[in-house]
Structure 1
């Protein structure tokens, strides 16, 4: 049985890897996820464990072995990433390139819901206090673990000066949250995206030729319980619409942007709740999973703000008036249902930028003043075009059925393994 290695910074991304295991095993491949959680990203994990059907190893499993030695020991047929922008991931990828191991980068969301095109302004307003606190907490592990490993990978692989300069540019961009093309160390042999909308972004950002980028479908549809029959269903849903507005959060606090702290975000939601209530509308919040370990849900419930869980998300949307969203990949779900999409640009979110996936949706509108929500909804209904919405859904839903996404990804992996000498992008 051939080995496929996955690489990540922690175990939070394990569901993305684990969903591929059954199809890989059918085709004679064993997937092992190697992560660097013990370096500070995911402390106190077992050295070796099973998460579902996925074999998972912390980097400490390999003792004092270097990334190169791990690759030489495991002899993987290919290496799989769900992100290559982190420096540790780039170091691992450097060795893969040097050793001639095929690599695959799979986007783990619909990326262009955010304004992330290279060369554009930062997608979010910086909150410098929060950002500096994040930098302070992460600086130690970067200085003692990640940067030395990255520098060693450049030395071991004989990287030219231009690649060293990539490191300087990358650090500068990370500190300023600027959109710049990824360094060469982030380029993989091939890529997979959920939908056609992200193909050009991956090509421009990661230097992968479009012929090497594959659309594989959106597993988030399954995660939220959205079935193919549900696409566009809001337009014909026979239940009377409630007065609910579903707010979709993307955990901006965790990224050190927009909101200074949890209190600031709670104040934002409380103001939203009050403004909608004055118009006879009812706020319901779909929180990002990252908030469920912070005590935020309990604080919102104390304020009388209703929450919506993942299991009831689609059903609740189908009966709601609209979705009010931050730039979240989950914002695609109400759009695929065909319902009005309100892009938040009020209060702390004033001037917030959104990606082309959301701004191109025919039933979307920016909200600059919450007092205008009722009028915006009337305007969206007046100019609603079922044909335009259907065209948008077709372009942005990705290949269907979504449950075949793992099969499509594994077919790409299998082709990489069968063609180890294939042309590499942007050498």
Structure 2
């Protein structure tokens, strides 16, 4: 049975080009960029080329790029690194939102345990932060503001530019988790008021275990990982050269084909909604998230009367891979913190399923899944 993979927000398959880049680099021989001999210099050259790729894609300096082991590590490094540096300047406030990925939320709570003052911004029914709430929360005591670009569960976009402008006026560091948005939205870091930006390779058809952190020159920052002097002493540890090379290749493709990716994802998303309307009727499902200000590849749908667990189990048995929310929290029976923060009905929260689209998905798959959902829904009618 062939699987319909509608869970690209959890992870994506490596593209053939990324695999080729990985294999070529891994096959080139010993690769420690810190070594001074010829093999080490060759590895450092490959690392520098990858760094230059991201500098061009993000419109920043290559010296502002730090490679990490994951998006979670990037988020943690940004938050702890900036927060502790800012505390030396008398700033102890942390501002974030109720719908952040747990890599941010749990890091912020840990900072709160360590003496920082945490303010968690509420969101509206679409999962969007109100700018006036952000402005009220950010003041001269604020050390770090962390707001994601696009939500991993609903796709809702946040007003990061406007919030970043306000943070900058108050000399607070602005961190953006762009893990889900990168490759679909452009990030011009010369223009955007962002001091720290987190990315992850496996969301854009690159390898797992590789992330990136942009640190704007002049941003207060103290390293949180100690050892050697790798990454300009900002992140100790031998770099994953093969993984980074594959990440860079995947990023080149994703950003170079961003419009095509957006149009493709949007077409699959629209097809799923149309097919669901045709096969079960518009009254049998509800879309969660902002109708317009959203990522094109994420679709969160509630099927009132059918629990998320039941729908996902039946979809899996029928060969459809989807999710109940963030893959990092899928093992928990707790309701989605994102949907709960939106103050929607308990029935919508408990029946929500996230579909996310990407490379290889087709309209035919959308039609097939809608028919499967119609069959499942009939059992609960």
TM range (shorter): under 0.3
- Max Rg structure: 1
TM-score normalised over the length of structure 1: 0.24
Of structures 1 and 2, the one with the larger relative CO (CA 8 A, separation 6+) is 2
TM-score normalised over the length of structure 2: 0.26
